[in-house]
């Protein structure tokens, strides 16, 4: 069977399709390598960073980061090196400029507007609250105080004694 | 033979679904209620045809009938029987067929449950659900037909995708996810039916909530099992990569979770109506968008093994549904006016409202991040990536806010709170939360080693702390806070009964819990979610990693553990061959555990794929996992390169599943109707509507 042949071949030669990884640098620099590696996308994987990927191509790219870190290149220079080669696609965390600001500010805007609406709502009803009629109406709408919450409130009051 | 029978059943199902949709919607709108039995019968017919068609496919797979197109794509005589059955959902056409069976199952269960007692919306609801079923039946009959006939069948096939044969979790993860996705059709149908009918009493709210909880639970289980599968199979030591397909399943989960909370405000305060219904409709739309993302191959992702050209059909369907939802809410919006206003944010309803906002903001973030690369490519012709760092940055603060609200919400009363009582209540859980930080800091300081051999000072420790450390600390503090609040809310009523009615602890606990099943079940689920959040925080902030190439007999240190390389072996199974690097893992106390052959980190060779697929060794323990994956090996030199990690608490992500199941079942359990009416104590609280 060809598969058996293939495996025996593999066992003889091993599986290391491209180059072996460099050994880690000293702790401080290696931490930087890993931090940078987390931000760079592995070209052959599914959205995984080169720091996380076991793929040989990612290991090679991580070695490149090690090389650049040993040369004391700055973060910007290292990112620039990869962007020049692979385009902005290589950055797992998109830049903040231009159209990309929608990505960063959109959720914040949604959260902010939502909070404003909620606060406005409660302000509005706070103004309406003193009117006895609405208060009575609200009283009538809510069920008799038989719920467990009333029970809980009672329990809490008892606890304080 | 199989092809003809299977395809015939699909066409029959399509006919039944279309009939149910047309009759249900037309007679429902014209209010001819006597047509309902016909709709119900057509639904039964649809369910039966779809389930039978699936059974025929399983039979064809087991018989290795390679004249069936789908079997010729995924079948292989070498595949073990269990994976042969599972290959029903291992590629696009089969999974859509399977989808049809689940849809049939849900519609059958729903129709049978309410065949006697039901609201007047039933006919329209069944019509809407049948319309969705018609779409899927059409997909199976046309663009994604698995029943094509192969003219000159071969004697063997390639077998299913190797990645899917690599782990038993693949047997249960996809069905769970499908049960979650497809199930969202039911609440969509209920909500749309009631809106179309234009009669919005309270009668439809209970079924709406219950039938959202069911798919919610399956979706939760499906997502967690998926992450477990990724962790146990893919070998990169992670469980969540914010992959488009993971995001696709996460989004409806988020909106359904928000729905389950806002429905409490709806039932109690008669407000947030439009919002709650929008969440129910939105969850369904997101499941369809999710299916589209998974199945169309728009995104390059682990899951796009099921690519085909069903994309356009799906896009059209999404557009139709969106237009339908918007029209429905516009035309019927006047029925959804709030009957009460929010008095203050510092109340149960206020906290739920903020909780909803955070959930929706996170959903929006995930949707935006997932779709954004497509947008820039379309607008600027520029390829960009939106990956893990972006999602983590955005999701972390939102997640912490959710965790905080999980503690604050249950503590707050409905309506206005007394600030003094609040402060007193906050004191113990808040204090314990802050106290938790103390052991965490002590433990981290003990574990910390100054870089480049400097002196170990506390100042140095503080300045060396990464943001991940700080976030994990905050998470632990909040986790304690939430746990204490939740346990107090769970046990306080029982304690009161014990002191007042002199009941034993057990009796008091059971009766107080069964009086407020929904809330009690919800708290059990909350405990499960806290466990998951803490596990995620601990395993990502405190993981220890190491990698090295070892000769036989050498040891790689990873944290307190040692991984010794004992040599290579190879093995053979019917569907694959493998090379394993035998290892011995030495624990902190010197205890040794050997991992040999199938139990060791491996490279698997499948006939279908050129590159080997690794499978890591995971030594699971209660408080931590040791995870070793084989990266490369050299048979001549007898060396192997390993990646090894120690992940604290990671298993609690999946151990939390039983808590989620238990809590949801408690919430769903029907309330006995005459409970406690004969007892002389206080009037029986109506837990189904009166409590959270």
Mutate to test the interface with A, among B348, B384, B449 (most CBs of A within 10 A): B384
This prediction has a pTM of: 0.87
- Candidates B484, B342, B520; CA nearest to B411 is B484
Domain boundary among B160, B193, B220: B160
Q: Domain for residue B662, yes or no?
A: no
pLDDT at A146: 41
pLDDT at A158: 57
C-beta separation of B667 from B517 below 8 A: yes
B549 lies in which domain range?
544-652
What is the mean pLDDT of the segment spanning B539-545? 89
Reported as a single tens digit per residue, the pLDDT across A4-35 is: 555 555 555 566 544 455 666 777 788 888 88
pLDDT band at A138 (very low <50, low <70, confident <90, very high): very low
Total of domains in chain B = 2
With an 8 Å Cβ cutoff, are A129 and B357 in contact?
no
* B612, two tokens: 């080997």
With an 8 Å Cβ cutoff, are A10 and B369 in contact?
no
Phi, psi dihedral angles at B412 (to 5 degrees): -85, 140
Beta strands per DSSP E along B537-623: 544-551, 555-558, 561-573, 576-586, 592-595, 602-605, 613-615, 617-620
Reported as a single tens digit per residue, the pLDDT across B462-504 is: 877 777 788 888 999 999 999 999 999 898 888 888 888 888 8
pLDDT at A29: 80
CA distances from residue B65 to A152, B237, B316, B576, B637 in whole angstroms, order as listed: 64, 39, 34, 22, 46
Reported as a single tens digit per residue, the pLDDT across B425-443 is: 888 888 898 888 888 888 8
Rounded to 5°, the CA angle B496-B497-B502 comes to 115
Q: Indicate the SS3 state at residue A53.
A: coil
pLDDT band at B243 (very low <50, low <70, confident <90, very high): confident
The interface residues of chain A toward chain B in range 37-96, judged by CB-CB distance below 8 A, are: 38-39, 41, 46-49, 52-54, 56, 59, 87-94
pLDDT at B441: 84
Higher pLDDT, A146 or B71: B71
Domain boundary among B139, B160, B181: B160
Q: Domain for residue B412, yes or no?
A: no
Angstrom distance (rounded) from CA B631 to CA A54 = 6
Q: Domain for residue B578, yes or no?
A: yes
Provide ipTM, 2 decimals: 0.80
With an 8 Å Cβ cutoff, are B389 and A92 in contact?
yes
DSSP assignment string, B215-267: HHHHHHHHHHHHHHHHHHHT-SS-S----HHHHHHHHHHHHHHHHHHHHHHHH
- What secondary structure letter does DSSP report for A72? T
With an 8 Å Cβ cutoff, are A47 and B238 in contact?
no
Q: Domain for residue B220, yes or no?
A: no
CA distance B428 to chain A (A): 13
Reported as a single tens digit per residue, the pLDDT across B183-208 is: 999 999 999 999 998 877 777 888 89
- Residue bearing tokens 């990536």: B385
Reported as a single tens digit per residue, the pLDDT across B581-597 is: 999 999 988 889 999 98
Angstrom distance (rounded) from CA B335 to CA B194 = 11
What is the mean pLDDT of the segment spanning A121-147? 47
DSSP assignment string, B156-223: ----S-HHHHS-THHHHHHHHHHHHHHHTHHHHHHHHHHHHHT---STTHHHHHHHHHHHHHHHHHHH
Q: Give yes or no for A1 touching B (CB within 8 A).
A: no
pLDDT at B469: 83
pLDDT at A129: 44
What's the mean pLDDT when you consider all of chain B?
86
What is the mean pLDDT of the segment spanning B65-93? 87
Q: Domain for residue B10, yes or no?
A: yes
Q: Domain for residue B21, yes or no?
A: yes
pLDDT at B354: 93
Domain boundary among B114, B141, B160: B160
* B588, two tokens: 């902190």
Is the pLDDT at B136 greater than 90? The verdict is yes
Contacts of B570 in chain A (CB under 8 A): 7-8, 11
pLDDT at A71: 87
A104-110 long-range Cβ contacts below 8 angstroms, 24+ apart: A106/B364, A106/B365, A106/B368, A107/B361, A107/B362, A107/B364, A107/B365, A107/B368, A107/B394, A110/B360, A110/B361, A110/B364
Reported as a single tens digit per residue, the pLDDT across B620-671 is: 998 999 999 988 888 888 889 898 999 999 999 999 999 999 999 999 988 7
pLDDT at B679: 40
What is the mean pLDDT of the segment spanning A41-47? 76
To 10 degrees, what angle do helices B419-447 and B467-501 make?
130
């Amino acid at each position: 069977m060809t598969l058996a042949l293939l495996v025996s071949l593999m066992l003889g030669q091993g599986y290391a399709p491209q180059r072996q990884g460099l050994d880690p640098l000293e702790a401080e620099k290696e931490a930087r390598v890993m931090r940078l590696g987390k931000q760079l996308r592995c070209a052959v994987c599914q959205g995984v960073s080169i720091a996380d990927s076991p793929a040989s191509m990612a290991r090679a790219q991580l070695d490149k980061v090690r090389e650049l870190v040993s040369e004391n290149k700055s973060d910007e220079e290292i990112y620039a090196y990869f962007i020049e080669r692979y385009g902005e696609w290589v950055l797992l965390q998109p830049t903040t400029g231009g159209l990309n600001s929608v990505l960063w500010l959109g959720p914040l805007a949604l959260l902010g507007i939502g909070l404003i609406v909620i606060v406005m709502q409660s302000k509005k009803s706070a103004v309406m609250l003193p009117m006895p009629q609405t208060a009575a109406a609200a009283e009538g709408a809510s069920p008799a105080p038989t719920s467990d919450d009333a029970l809980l409130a009672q329990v809490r009051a008892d606890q304080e004694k | 033979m199989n092809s003809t029978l299977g395809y015939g059943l699909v066409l029959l199902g399509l006919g039944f679904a279309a009939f149910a949709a047309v009759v249900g919607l037309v007679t429902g709108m014209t209010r001819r209620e006597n047509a309902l039995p016909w709709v119900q019968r057509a639904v039964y017919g649809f369910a039966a045809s779809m389930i039978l068609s699936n059974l025929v496919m399983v039979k064809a797979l087991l018989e290795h009938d390679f004249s069936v197109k789908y079997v010729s794509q995924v079948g292989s005589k070498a595949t073990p029987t269990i994976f042969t059955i599972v290959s029903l959902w291992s590629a696009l056409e089969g999974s859509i067929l399977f989808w049809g069976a689940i849809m049939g199952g849900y519609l059958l269960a729903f129709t049978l449950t309410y065949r006697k007692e039901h609201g007047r919306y039933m006919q329209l609801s069944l019509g809407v659900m049948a319309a969705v079923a018609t779409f899927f039946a059409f997909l199976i009959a046309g663009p994604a037909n698995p029943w094509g006939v192969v003219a000159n069948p071969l004697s063997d096939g390639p077998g299913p995708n190797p990645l899917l044969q690599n782990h038993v979790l693949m047997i249960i993860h996809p069905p769970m996810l499908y049960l979650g996705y497809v199930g969202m059709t039911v609440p969509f149908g209920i909500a749309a039916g009631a809106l179309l009918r234009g009669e919005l009493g309270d009668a439809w709210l209970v079924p709406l909530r219950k039938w959202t909880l069911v798919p919610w639970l399956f979706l939760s289980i499906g997502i967690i099992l998926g992450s477990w599968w990724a962790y146990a199979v893919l070998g990169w030591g992670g469980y969540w990569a914010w992959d488009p397909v993971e995001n696709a399943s996460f989004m409806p989960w988020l909106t359904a979770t928000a729905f389950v909370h806002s429905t409490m405000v709806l039932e109690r305060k008669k407000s947030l109506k439009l919002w709650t219904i929008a969440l129910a409709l939105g969850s369904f739309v997101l499941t369809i968008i999710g299916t589209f993302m998974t199945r169309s191959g728009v995104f390059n992702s682990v899951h796009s093994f099921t690519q085909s050209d069903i994309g356009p059909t799906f896009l059209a369907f999404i557009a139709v549904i969106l237009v339908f939802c918007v029209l429905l809410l516009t035309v019927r919006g006047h029925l959804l006016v709030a009957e009460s206003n929010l008095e203050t944010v510092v109340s149960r309803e206020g906290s739920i409202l903020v909780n909803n906002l955070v959930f929706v903001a996170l959903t929006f973030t995930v949707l935006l991040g997932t779709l954004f690369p497509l947008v820039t490519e379309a607008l600027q012709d520029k390829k960009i990536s939106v990956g893990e760092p972006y999602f983590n940055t955005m999701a972390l603060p939102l997640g912490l806010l959710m965790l905080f609200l999980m503690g604050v919400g249950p503590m707050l009363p409905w309506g206005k709170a007394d600030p003094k009582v609040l402060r007193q209540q906050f004191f113990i859980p808040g204090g314990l939360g802050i106290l938790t930080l103390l052991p965490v800091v002590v433990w981290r300081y003990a574990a910390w080693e100054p870089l480049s051999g400097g002196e170990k000072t506390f100042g140095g420790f503080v300045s060396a702390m990464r943001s991940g450390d700080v976030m994990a600390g905050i998470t632990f503090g909040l986790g304690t806070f939430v746990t204490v609040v939740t346990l107090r809310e769970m046990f306080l009523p029982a304690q009161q009964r014990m002191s007042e009615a002199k009941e034993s602890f057990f009796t008091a606990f059971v009766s107080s819990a069964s009086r407020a099943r929904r809330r009690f079940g919800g708290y059990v689920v909350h405990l499960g979610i806290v466990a998951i959040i803490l596990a995620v925080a601990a395993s990502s902030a405190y993981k220890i990693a190491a990698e090295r190439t070892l000769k036989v007999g050498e040891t790689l240190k990873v944290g307190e553990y040692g991984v010794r390389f004992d040599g290579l072996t190879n093995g053979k199974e019917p569907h694959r061959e493998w090379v394993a690097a035998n290892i011995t893992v030495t624990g902190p106390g010197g205890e040794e555990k050997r991992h040999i052959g199938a139990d060791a980190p491996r490279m698997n060779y499948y006939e279908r794929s050129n590159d080997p697929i690794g499978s890591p060794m995971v030594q699971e323990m209660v408080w931590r996992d040791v995870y070793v994956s084989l990266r490369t090996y050299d048979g001549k030199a007898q060396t192997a390169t390993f990646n090894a990690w120690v992940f604290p608490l990671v298993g609690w992500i999946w151990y939390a599943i039983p808590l989620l199941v238990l809590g949801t079942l408690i919430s769903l359990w029907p309330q006995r109707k005459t409970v406690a009416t004969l007892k002389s104590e206080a009037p029986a609280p109506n837990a189904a509507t009166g409590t959270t």
